[in-house]
Amino acid sequence: MDSLEYEIAKSFPNLRQTEFGKVIVPLTNDNEPYTPVVWGSFITGLPPSRHSIFEGPELKWDNRVLQKLRELLRRRGNSFYWKNYNWIGKLMTNIGFRMTPHHIFHTKEDFISKKISTIFDRAKKPIAMSVPSYNEEQVNQYLRGRLSDVYRDGLPQEVLEKEALKVFRSRKKELLRRLDEDWDLLMTHLFIVDTFGHLIPTYDPKFERVYTELNEMAGEIKDKMHNTFILIVSDHGHRNCSHTPYGFYSSNQIIGLHYPKITEFHQIILEMLSS
């Protein structure tokens, strides 16, 4: 679950599960965790320096001075900047400044060419559903690009909210259907919290409704898969329109972790597959 925030998720019983906590995630040079980088480490058990999947900021100001100032404030954790992130962005675009999305799309073939194995290579009957850096669906890239439409071109954010919810509910329906297939490892990626996190502050009721939907979905999965090891992980958190430098995890079994690195789940998954 992309962007699932520890401080919020721990209040929802189906997301919290039996064991839960924060996760140490790799940060890029501007002190940000980026989705393909973190999930690349999750599925390989390797740090970014070894799997070599990198991604720069998704949105950059075309004005170099403004972009440098943005990076400086983000690195220093300036509280005024983070509390007014959306307002500042809209003000700058109204003045005439523009942002351009920068994406690097990675696929399974990148791992094959680098001779790097993933958890899916170790499974006999794996199902990977839109996993970032592996086989992510293009609709995720579309939603990321739509963020720039909101900030740069004045697209009403309610339009993007509806699009993101439609994608999430479609993927949830597909996930519940595919749980009935024959598999030994199934991983799906859900992008809904990240999209809403960039649009609205955490205290907005819309944010809680998204978590409520995810909590209900997790409950449906647990009711359906009684004897299955279920792991919920996020690549970072999201509070007040910005990423937090840690992720979230929970398991329906005691696995004995304490503030683990995102790479530590790789070995746990392999042990489950071999048992």
What's residue 81's pLDDT? 57
Taking CA atoms, 33 is separated from 3, 11, 30, 57, 237, in Å, by 10, 23, 9, 10, 9
What's residue 136's pLDDT? 92
pLDDT, tens digit, for every residue of 235-254? 999 988 888 999 999 999 99
pLDDT, tens digit, for every residue of 74-98? 665 555 655 566 667 777 777 887 7
pLDDT, tens digit, for every residue of 132-155? 999 999 888 888 888 878 877 788
Listed by start position, the domains of the chain span 6-52+105-274
Helix axes 138-153, 85-95, angle to 10 degrees: 60
Alpha helix (H) residue ranges in the chain = 6-9, 13-16, 35-44, 48-51, 64-76, 79-83, 85-95, 108-113, 119-122, 138-153, 157-178, 192-199, 205-224, 264-274
What's residue 102's pLDDT? 57
Answer yes or no: are the C-beta atoms of 255 and 19 closer than 8 Å: yes
Q: Count the alpha carbons within 13 Å of 25 in the hemisphere toward its beta carbon.
A: 32
Q: Which residues pair with 238 in a beta bridge?
A: 243
What's residue 1's pLDDT? 97
Rg of the chain's alpha carbons, rounded to an integer?
Answer: 18
Run means of pLDDT, 10 residues per run, the chain, 275 residues: 96 98 88 88 94 65 81 63 64 76 73 94 97 91 84 87 96 97 98 92 90 98 95 94 92 97 98 93
Residues with Cβ within 8 Å of 164's Cβ and at least 6 positions away in sequence, in order, are 143, 191, 192, 195, 196
| Domain 6-52+105-274 fold | Alkaline Phosphatase, subunit A (3.40.720)
Q: What does the alpha-carbon distance between residue 76 and residue 54 come to, in Å, rounded to a whole number?
A: 22
Per-residue burial over 146-182, b if 16 or more Cβ lie within 10 Å, else e, is bbbebbbeeeebeebbeebbebbeebbeebeeebeee
